[in-house]
Amino acid sequence: MITKRLEEYLEIIYSVIEQKGYARAKDIVKAMNVSPPTVTEMLQKLDREGFINYEKYGGVTLTEKGRKIVKNLERRHETLKNFFILIGIDEKTADDDACKIEHIASNETMKILTKFVEFMQKHEKPKWLERFKIYCNEGKLIECPETKKKMKK
């Protein structure tokens, strides 16, 4: 089973490879601020489980299996970040929170949330979303005109 910690290592490895063209254990030690033995142990585990190719004192590369996990995490992250921005959270906080939640949200939740974000991005911002932002920013709860009409009947 893939854990949050394993996912974090895969993301760091991917990031280092994207920046430098290659990754070594010492790059991961620096990026994650953990001890060399801790990184070595995790790299061996990731290698055994088929997520990376690792040679002691050599480089680290992602396997196709490892790349799939990182790409899935990137999609989850973007969906969460876009959702948070959509409801009025500032971009930095949205990015930070998405980074944490991407590892724990269920596939079912992510599937529906992805559809919601895609739907919202293809449509004009609805009035309820604008009223929601006013409520968040000003504390003023504006009732929906349609709800008022239904209540009067």
DSSP secondary structure string for all residues of 140-152: --PPPHHHHHHHH
CB 51 within 8 A of CB 10: yes
Run of H or E residues at 4? helix 4-20
Q: Are 84 and 97 in contact, with CB atoms under 8 Å apart?
A: yes
Residue 17: which pLDDT band, with cuts at 50, 70 and 90? very high
pTM of the predicted protein model: 0.82
Per-residue pLDDT tens over the stretch 44-54: 999 999 999 99
> What is the distance between the alpha carbons of residues 58 and 27, in angstroms, rounded to a whole number?
12
pLDDT score recorded for residue 110? 97
Q: What 8-state DSSP symbol labels residue 2?
A: -
What is the mean predicted confidence (pLDDT) over 99-105? 94
CA 78/CA 26 separation, integer angstroms = 29
Which pLDDT belongs to residue 153? 59
Separation between Cα atoms, residue 13 and residue 67, nearest integer Å: 10
How far apart CA 23 and CA 113 sit, in angstroms, is 33
| Order of all β-strands in the sheet with 59-62 | 23-24, 59-62, 52-54
pLDDT higher than threshold 90 for residue 15: yes
Report the percent of the chain where pLDDT is more than 70. 95
Res. 150 pLDDT band, cuts 50 70 90:
low
- How many angstroms from the chain centroid is the CA of residue 14? 14
